[in-house]
Chains A and B, each alone.
Chain A
Amino acid sequence: MMETHAQYVDYLPTKEKQETSQELEDTAQQQQILYQKAMNQEQPSVLQQRSTVSKGKYTLNDFQIMRTLGTGSFGRVHLVRSVHNGRYYAIKVLKKQQIVKMKQIEHTNDERRMLKLVEHPFLIRMWGTFQDSNNLFMVMDYIEGGELFSLLRKSQRFPNPVAKFYAAEVVLALEYLHFNNIIYRDLKPENILLDRNGHIKITDFGFAKEVTTVTWTLCGTPDYIAPEVIATKPYNKSVDWWSLGILIYEMLAGYTPFYDTTPMKTYEKILHGRVTYPSFFNSDVVDLLSKLITADLTRRIGNLQNGTQEIKSHPWFSEVVWEKLLSKDIETPYEPPIVSGVGDTSLFDQYPEERLNYGIHGEDPYEALFTDF
């Protein structure tokens, strides 16, 4: 648990870093207290001291909009090129009207805030945001290797060590988010990108939320939603550990444990909770999964006395050197075939392009709703 705190020091802004490293020189006991305090919510997480303001930093004119990299319920993600430095970025464009119609105003504002706060090697980085009268824009790093989803569907299933590698990087990302009281709530291969070296970047913070106690909103992706969320119970971070279990299962099996033809049938299966493990699953992973994919919160690993540490020291992860993994000092199982420096998009699927109405500044009925952008 001690290393846990020390690891994050590298990813904090300089000011906190100095203060925190001072503390870290003290005895291990004090570190324990520090961690315990944070875990007990007696002090706000360090992230709360960071600025989330990003207004007026960019405009549409700073970028040349290129092809679509993905589409969602509220808009699409474009590859863009900075007209200043020639570098490639991804811009997520959200239609205000659609957000309002789908009643996702709060989630959208949370998404921007969370992305602005987090800083971790396995989380996508957001550079800034802006808006016009119809759309919100979020400027993010362009991660060329495509979605883990595409790699998984192409491979059908991952060999045990490969699934373990991606799972381990996800564990570190979730550990960081949870340490900062952020729940992610939408873990799935579609939301995990691979960088040019094959390390993961978790993207799409649409449901990420800072939560110190519990939260209530039903959200996620049907195959991945935890039973307590379906049952309208208050829930917290442990829902992400459930989803991690589903992710590992899907990476190894090629399909999810509760899939069915309709979401309602899937939810019934999730509440019923019976998981069949394919015979080719390694026995360590079956043990880990049975502890992640359990409705009993007193048995769900990650939610227990020793928190994430218990997952990290599970036998399935025994060969993982966590410090090395965090510093990307472990060779990745797959390096995406990328033509460097040219905004190669060959690893992203094609989406039909549509006529863009970006950059209109006129009447905006939703002006008051997204003032942070």
Chain B
Amino acid sequence: MAITSDQKNEIDLFHKQVEIENPSDIIQFGANYFNRRLELQRGFIKKQENFALSKGISLFPNDMAQDPMSTTHRSSSAVNFKSPFVDQDPHSIHSGPHSNNSSSEPFKSNFNVTTESKKRINSPMDPSQSNDDPSAGSNFKRSSPHPSNLSPIPVHFNAERRTSVSGETLQPGNFDDWTPEHYKEKSEEQLKRLEKSIGKNFLFNKLDHDNKRLVINCLEEKHVPKETVIIKQGDQGDYFYIVEDGNVEFIVNDAKVSSSGSGSSFGELALMYNSPRAATVIATSDCILWALDRLTFRKILLGSSFKKRVLYDDLLKSIPVLKSLTTYERAKLADALDTKYYEPDQVIIKEGDVGENFYLIEYGECQVTREDKGLLTTLHKGDYFGEVALLNDLPRQATVTASKKTKVATLGKSGFQRLLGPAVEVLKLNDPTRSSRE
């Protein structure tokens, strides 16, 4: 790497000095020389300190924060805040009358939150870092005793910088001509068993029946001999695995952490995005595995999500009372729809009840009945009911009962109102037939 001009200047200066003084012990000379440079520079900055503070800039926020010899200053220093807003904070600590604050203190009110700093071990190399030394020359107040209502930061919280993650950008609109690469029908017995294996995982348990079967039928059978490294810690992950038969062992940083056998699964994070494997997995016997790659999985998931979205949009468009909504408003409703499942014979809405929700049928079958007239009609996928509840508070005019297992998307009047405003007004406002004279 090329050195910067600042570095070069410093080296040139030193070079010149060596030429002038021609020292016999170059190392001792260099050490003394740079210590002197440091002293000069710091002395200069120190002189600027009061001026800087009057401008609100603190050059030495932690006594030695500018000290290049100190590497621990950052974690052991206190941060002092001014309050731009009225303090309503129960856990802030105000500067009390005992404060030995200098008059140059630029802060309106002081908040001391680094309550942990005293617990830290001060650098033995740097006695001036001691927070307990009142002669340390700080312009800032030191930590107050730990208030009892402040719990410490949990030890398991990762306080390091967090890496962003991202899956591949897929366009679910053009999956129509896509077929999964490793599609192979599994036997009914296999399906049941595999369904059980993945059942508890949140990635799979939201899938509907058809998609779950599709995913399982896309599992690719893999035979690995004993001692095979199936995945390696730190490698990029693209596959999720289910153990059909055999045993595997998990190793993190060369230490065995656990093992598992038939029916277990591992590597599921790879189904979300590409990230380094957290552990190494080794076959401790000959194994039969099922593998699923991320692209296949996400395409199935996204494809179904997209179809559902198109269905919602079409349905919302087809409901006369919602016809006047703009694309944007319709999208907001579609995003907020809640899905519900009904078993056969379960009543969804009941004649005479006060209506709140409207329903779109995603799949299944429902019967609409009335006390006086009996069965009125049967509703199927793509039908809707209850939409009048958005506009008025009349009791339900009929009972709707699921006659097969039914999945509905639903939204209530109050949800509608929170999103777009009072339904009556929103729907009227957008109605193109509404008179403009109002």
Contacts and interface: CB of A to CB of B under 8 A. Distances in A.
B331 A213 contact: yes
Given A155-B113, A190-B162, A339-B59, A353 B83 contact: no
A298 B419 contact: yes
Interface in B153-167: 153-154, 156-159, 161-167
Interface residues of B, number: 92
Interface string A70-82: 0011000000000
B115 interface: yes
Contact of B82 (A156, A219, A332): A332
A72 B161 CA distance: 10
B80 interface: yes
Interface in A327-371: 330-335, 337-340, 346, 349, 353-356
Nearest to B301: A232
Interface stretch (B89-97, B285-293, B346-354, B396-404): B89-97
B69 to A, nearest CB: 13
Interface string B407-418: 000011011111
Interface stretch (B226-234, B322-330, B377-385): B322-330
A117 interface: no
A230 to B, nearest CB: 8
A190 B414 CA distance: 38
B354 to A, nearest CB: 19
Interface stretch (A15-23, A39-47, A132-140, A172-180): A39-47
B309 A162 contact: no
Contacts of B66: 346
A207 to B, nearest CB: 7
Interface stretch (A2-10, A48-56, A123-131, A145-153): A145-153
A220 interface: yes
16 contacts: A42-B326, A64-B4, A106-B169, A150-B74, A154-B79, A160-B87, A161-B88, A217-B167, A222-B162, A222-B165, A230-B202, A233-B305, A236-B331, A254-B153, A334-B80, A355-B1
Interface string B328-340: 1101101110000
A256 B328 CA distance: 32
Given A160-B88, A190-B162, A217-B170, 15 more contacts: A39-B328, A73-B163, A154-B74, A155-B113, A161-B81, A204-B164, A216-B170, A218-B167, A220-B164, A220-B166, A256-B157, A259-B154, A260-B156, A304-B419, A333-B82
B191 interface: no
Given A155-B113, A217-B166, A221-B162, A236 B335 contact: yes
A164 interface: yes
Contacts of B305: 216, 232-234
B85 A278 contact: no
Contacts of A102: 166, 274
A246 to B, nearest CB: 11
A214 interface: yes
A64 B5 CA distance: 9
A305 B202 contact: no
Contacts of B278: 262
Nearest to B201: A264
B319 interface: no
A221 to B, nearest CB: 5
Contact of B86 (A161, A206, A278): A161
B153 A161 contact: no
B165 A221 contact: yes
A275 interface: no
B113 A156 contact: yes
B65 A298 contact: no
A320 B59 CA distance: 30
Contacts of B74: 150, 154, 349
